[in-house]
Amino acid sequence: MIKNSIYKLFLPVVLLVFINAQIIELNNKKVTILKDEVVIEVRGLVCSFCAVGLQGGLSSLHNVDKEKYNNGVLVDIEHHFAVIAEISGKDINIDEALTMITKSGYEVFTVYTNRSGEKIDVRNFEVNKN
């Protein structure tokens, strides 16, 4: 009985998330690109202590949903990417995010967005894939 209620309550929510999400493989990790998130692959993003600067910079952008992750930003140094959570229906300025990453001492490899919830847009940047 209780189990059925849980299914009824959570199944629509789970389905809604996956309808608005696409999955990619990023440096050997499956990453879900949600409609209101931007995923940025960053070159050389391995230094844990340095990730703090990147996190702080990206959190300060407009329209970041600071309720999610660490002030709106998740930095994965093992797989070299950052996820920025956006306030629902409001986009961050991606060019500002790229400038912030450069000021933080890194370079951007690829930007993934899923604005429609159905298709991932990919922006690649000219860097060596060493």
Partner 1 sequence: MDMAPRWSGGYGFQIRYESYGSDLTVNAKDINASFFHKTYFLEGVYTWDRSARITLKLPYQIIEKRDSDILSKNNSFGDLIIAVPLKKYNNYKSYTQNIGVTPQVKIPLDEKMTNVTGPFSGGVSLSYSSESFSFYQLYDIFSWFYNYKDPLLGLDINLGIHPYHDNATNKGLFVIWDATCRWENSYTIIQTGPAFMLYNQNIMMRAELKLPAIETGGKNKLSKGVYMNIGLGFVF
Residues binding partner 1 (CB under 8 A): 27, 43-57, 69-70, 74-78, 80, 103-107, 109, 128-130
> What is the C-alpha separation between 50 and 18, in angstroms, rounded?
32
Residue 120, Cβ density class (10 Å: 0-12 exposed, 13-18 middle, ≥19 buried) = middle
**CB-nearer residue toward partner 1: 29 or 62:** 29
**CB-nearer residue toward partner 1: 92 or 101:** 101
**CB-nearer residue toward partner 1: 48 or 116:** 48
Residue type, 67: E
> What is the C-alpha separation between 62 and 114, in angstroms, rounded?
18
Taking the complex as a whole, the smallest distance from the CB of residue 71 to partner 1 amounts, in Å, to: 10
The three-class DSSP label of residue 97 is helix
Taking the complex as a whole, the smallest distance from the CB of residue 114 to partner 1 amounts, in Å, to: 21
**Percentage helix, strand, coil for the chain under 3-state DSSP, each rounded to 5:** 30, 30, 35
Taking the complex as a whole, the smallest distance from the CB of residue 28 to partner 1 amounts, in Å, to: 10
Taking the complex as a whole, the smallest distance from the CB of residue 30 to partner 1 amounts, in Å, to: 15
Q: 11 is written with which tokens?
A: 């199944």
**CB-nearer residue toward partner 1: 92 or 108:** 108
